[in-house]
Amino acid sequence: MPTPETLERFIARVEENAHAEAVEEFYTENASLQENQEPPRHGRDTAVARERAMLPRAASISSTCVRPVFVNGDKVVIRWIFHFEWKDGTVTHMEELAYQRWEGERIAEETFFYDPAQRVPRKPQS
């Protein structure tokens, strides 16, 4: 179960848009990450590489935790809003719930729940 201080440090890292660094610092080596009902991806290094591959495509990113954060033992639910402005001029605005299982001070399993239609980049509204 994460301490409140650890959870706040994790949220702060994501809100700083230090996504790859947050994965390095707060996930177990064999962490499992899953998007909706897709097959899970395994391993912290895989997750870090995925974040680092995505970040250069973005001109800007905004990451916001919508409180409250729900904690029950080793289970945590965080509501996130992400806004990406891509270098090709499109935008992606996503709202998701992250359901996490922590082992001590690190995330061992995480499933993201969101409407997949949000992932499609769109032209910005005038």
Please state, rounded to an integer, the average pLDDT across all residues of the chain.
96
Provide the CATH number for the domain around residue 56.
Answer: 3.10.450.50
Question: Is residue 124 a part of any domain in this protein?
Answer: no
Does residue 121 sit within a domain? no
Length of the chain: 126
Amino acid in position 43: G
Gap between the Cα atoms of 63 and 85, Å rounded: 12
Whether the predicted pLDDT of 126 surpasses 80: no
Alpha carbon of residue 93 to chain centroid: 13
What domain range is 105 assigned to? 4-116
Q: Is 125 part of any domain?
A: no
What domain count does the chain have? 1
- Segment 16-37 mean pLDDT: 97
Residue 13 resides in a domain = yes
**Does residue 101 lie in a domain region?**
yes
Separation CA 121–CA 68 (nearest Å)? 28
- At CA 51, angle to CA 43 and CA 29, rounded to 5? 20
Q: Does residue 122 sit within a domain?
A: no
Q: Which residues contact 76 (CB under 8 A, 6 or more apart)?
A: 2, 7, 69, 70, 98, 99, 100, 102
**54-107 pLDDT, tens per residue?**
989 999 999 999 999 999 999 999 999 999 999 999 999 999 999 999 999 999
Residue 8 covered by a domain = yes
Query: Domain for residue 36, yes or no?
Result: yes
What is d(CA 75, CA 124) in angstroms, rounded to the nearest whole number? Answer: 36
32 pLDDT higher than 70: yes
